[in-house]
A and B are shown apart, each in its own frame.
Chain A
Amino acid sequence: MNKDKMDPLGFLIENLVQDFLDMTDAEIAIEIRERGEDPVAVAAKARAVFERAVTAKRKASLLQARNAVDTDAAHPPTVIAIDGATARARLQRLLRRFPEAATKLTLAARNGVGLSDSDVLGLLTNFHDLGIDDENDT
């Protein structure tokens, strides 16, 4: 409760709760019956609140995951469909234009050695996603 000297309701509630918690399970059940309720029903109600909270959390997580998938679907990955030789020539021209990018590749890779067609297309895709395309592209 609020750590406020003028919080009589808070102090009262705390005392009432403490007295309730000091009762045995049997005493609590008797009190519940005395007010006309069924202890089993009281328990079931509290348990149902818990299950609803778990279900709500699960639904929220699924919705979040679905939104993430929808976002990815709305922005499909770039696909560059050209043959290997054309791709390698294009990459070489880009690496000559952007020597700083070339320094990130191994010497062999800079010369197109050791790179598969898939690797070359991947690098071209990276350039494309950065907004950089070969000037000779048609």
Chain B
Amino acid sequence: MLPTAAVSETLSVDEFVSALRALTNEDWIRVGEVARRYARYCSTSGDDLQSEAIGRTLDGKRNCPYDVDPVAFLILTMKSIAGELRKAGFRTIGMDDVKLKTKDGNSVAFDPADERLDPESTLAENQAAARLRTAILGLFNDDEVARDLADLMMVELDGEELRALLDLEPKAFASKRRLVRRRIDKAFPDGWKP
């Protein structure tokens, strides 16, 4: 049997556009609402973040696998870009255009592998994190369980770990997490300003 040509594992740009054109209103609501939430992480707008995710896919910089739901793909892409933008915001100011001279006198761009924050930025970030925590926890002075959940949501734990730590039944956990989200959404509709 002759070998067949390898089938592309990702959607072409045209296929991706067709897939998005086929999305329902409910799908677009999810995309837009998630964009708005991730945008809070990197101080941009939901529209810009969504547009960037779609744009990079149309440019071929990102590729939607055949077996992945386009909405899920867009959400993951937006999450990734938001993380990128936030990390870019951590870079030390003023170092972007620095050139180094090599031993033979050639100039090369400064491209540090070490992306750790400088001490001043670390201090600023720690202070901002403390202010965020105070602001968030202050929303739940009337509900100790919600307050504990909100506190734990700012630590690297997944849903099941959170539920187990708080010793809540799944339904009670879902209800409490919903309450926390809605209260935070209402208090900070446009994100946090450090």
Contact = CB atoms under 8 A, between A and B. Distances in A.
Interface stretch (A40-48, A83-91, A102-110, A119-127): A40-48
Interface in B69-91: 75, 79, 82-83, 86-87
Q: Is the interface of B mostly helix, strand, loop or mixed?
A: helix
Contacts of A76: none
Task: Choose among A23, A46, A53 the residue with the greatest number of B CB atoms under 10 Å from its CB.
Answer: A46
Contacts of B185: 16
Contacts of B32: 42-43, 45-46, 49
Contact of B34 (A20, A44, A56): A20
A46 B28 contact: yes
Nearest to A5: B156
B153 interface: yes
B33 A10 contact: no
A25 B23 CA distance: 14
Task: Choose among A9, A14, A28 the residue with the greatest number of B CB atoms under 10 Å from its CB.
Answer: A9
B29 A13 contact: no
Given A10-B83, A20-B37, A53-B55, 12 more contacts: A1-B41, A6-B125, A10-B41, A11-B153, A11-B156, A11-B157, A12-B132, A13-B41, A15-B177, A17-B38, A44-B25, A46-B35
